[in-house]
Structure formats: structure tokens, C-alpha cells
Homo-oligomer: A and B are copies of this chain.
Amino acid sequence: MAKISIKIESRVLGEPNEIIVYIPKKIQAKMKSTGPKDEETGVDQAKVPYNVIYLLHGKNGDANAFFDFTNVMAYADKHEVITISTSVKNSFYTNMVYGERYFDYLSVEVPETLASLLNLNIDPMHTYILGYSMGGLGALKMGLTYPERFRGIASLSGSLRSMEENKRKIKDEDRRDLYLAFGDCEEISAQENDLFQLLEKAMEKQVNLPEIYLYCGRKDGLSEVNRAYHEYLEEKGVSHTYVEDDGGHEFERWDEQIKEYFKIIHK
């Protein structure tokens, strides 16, 4: 295996950041140099794309959250999936109204950096994105903003509130974190961030939507919000998987779900 930590001075953020790429042993063994010197490189092998998954952390998390609190390396090994993770602070995966442009960082700079530095063969039909909590929102936002890039989207206990609800929370609960990310939750912010609007826009594109997987436990405060998004998907006729159990908002459940999701990827 190879666990690659890339520390960059992010041009978009104006800050250092870390990208972690985990390559399971079996994939590493298949990877061949594509440099100009290796003319005998197995051409066919080079064309076989690997399964890749972006892992998006929740609030208070960072690039290491999945490694620290789930067994994702074991699942990646078992099902031969490369994982990619990085840190976006508590940005809600936005270009923050008051803060840095974390969505541009994640959607533009990270893939460009990986494409330039690493010898990966990334293909949309083998690319997935998964997040928990705030990262569930991020996964859906990325996947619906760029549906042509992903085969599947998984949101685990995602913060899938509508922009309306965010607005209410900012006002009623003084949620400073939401305010820094979404500002006044106005039209322009909603167009970029509202998962309901993003779904509609994605459906208008002439591309297949990534397969959507939603999980939320019934003891989770976000349970209703997730059910609402599930119903919205149904209403729009978007086929998807919706999983409920008696879980709360906790890593133990996300670990189980990741284990399940990696099986799906592997199929």
C-alpha cells in the first residue's frame, strides 16, 4: 500500500493544506509508470481505471477523520478503492461568504493537483464521493454540481437542510458557522448551495446522474431533513437508495455504512 500525504500551499485558499491519497496494495501493484522512458509499459494495464472515492469530513474534522475514526483503510484494501481526502474546515463545502473558497479548492485545485503530481488514472465511471454530516452535504453538492464526474454519491447523516432552514437557523439559533459559510442565504448563495436547486439543475444537464445513496439514523437530529430530501428525490423521480436504521449521529454507524458502500463500489 501507499499512503500519500501531499502538503501544498493552496493557491485558491492562500493557506497550506494537506491531501491524503490512500492506494491499496493490489492497486499499487498494478500501477505502472507512464513516463516517457517506460515504453514497454503495459498499455492495456494503463487503460484500466481504478475505483476512486473522495471522502468528505464533517464539522470539526479534517483529512484524517476517516482514518482516525473508521476502518476505511481495511475496506479500501478489501474492495480495491483509492481514497482521496483533504480538509475544508467548517466551510460547509462552500466558497464562504466570509472566508475562503473551499468549494473551488475541492472541486478544482485538488483534482488538478492530483492529476499533475500523481500517476493516477481517474475515470468518472469509477469515481465516487462520500461524506458524513457536513460532508454529506458536500458530497451531494459536488456530485450534483458536476454530475459528469461521478458514478456515485453517498451522504451519511448529511446536513441536507434547505437554504430556507439554514436561514432560519442563523436567525433563531445564531449559528455563526452557517452565517460565515452562507451569509444571508440569498439567491446567489442558494443557487450554488441549495441541494434542491442543484438537483434540478443537474437533471437539466444531458448527463446521467450519479447514483445517490442516502443514509440517516432515526435517532439523528438530521433524520427529518434527510427524509425530506429522500422524498424530494422520489418526487422528482430520481432513483436512489435510502437507508434508515435506529442509529444516531455517530462514527460507529458511518463506519458500518462505509463498509456497505465499498461493497457496492466493488460490484
A104 on the B face (CB < 8 A)? no
Interface residues in A172-203 (C-beta closer than 8 Å to B): 177, 180
How many residues on the A side are at the interface (Cβ–Cβ under 8 A)? 58
Contacts of A89 in B (CB 8 A): 15
The reply to whether A47 and B36 contact each other, CB–CB distance below 8 Å, is yes
**Chain B nearest CB: distance from A77 CB in Å?**
9
* The stretch of A67-75, A204-212, A223-231, A236-244 that contacts the partner chain: A67-75
A120 on the B face (CB < 8 A)? yes
**Chain B nearest CB: distance from A2 CB in Å?**
5
* The stretch of A6-14, A135-143, A162-170 that contacts the partner chain: A6-14
The reply to whether B35 and A9 contact each other, CB–CB distance below 8 Å, is no
A33 on the B face (CB < 8 A)? yes
The reply to whether B5 and A4 contact each other, CB–CB distance below 8 Å, is yes
The reply to whether B3 and A38 contact each other, CB–CB distance below 8 Å, is no
Give complex CA distance A37, B252 in Å.
38
Q: CB-CB contacts of A114-125 with B at 8 A, as 1s and 0s?
A: 011111111100
A113 on the B face (CB < 8 A)? yes
Contacts of A116 in B (CB 8 A): 28, 31-33, 119
The reply to whether B117 and A60 contact each other, CB–CB distance below 8 Å, is no
Contacts of A59 in B (CB 8 A): 14
A34 on the B face (CB < 8 A)? yes
The reply to whether A2 and B113 contact each other, CB–CB distance below 8 Å, is yes
A221 on the B face (CB < 8 A)? no
The reply to whether B2 and A90 contact each other, CB–CB distance below 8 Å, is no
Give complex CA distance A23, B119 in Å.
15
The reply to whether A14 and B117 contact each other, CB–CB distance below 8 Å, is no
Give complex CA distance A119, B122 in Å.
14
Q: Write 24 A-B pairs (CB below 8 A) sorted by A numbering.
A: A1-B8, A2-B8, A2-B113, A3-B7, A4-B7, A5-B6, A8-B28, A9-B25, A14-B59, A14-B177, A15-B89, A16-B61, A16-B64, A28-B116, A28-B117, A31-B116, A31-B117, A34-B34, A34-B119, A35-B121, A37-B122, A37-B123, A98-B98, A99-B180
Which residues of A are interface residues toward B (Cβ below 8 A)? Answer: 1-9, 14-16, 23, 25, 28, 31-38, 46-47, 59-62, 64, 67-71, 73-74, 87, 89-90, 98-99, 112-113, 115-123, 177, 180, 251-252, 255
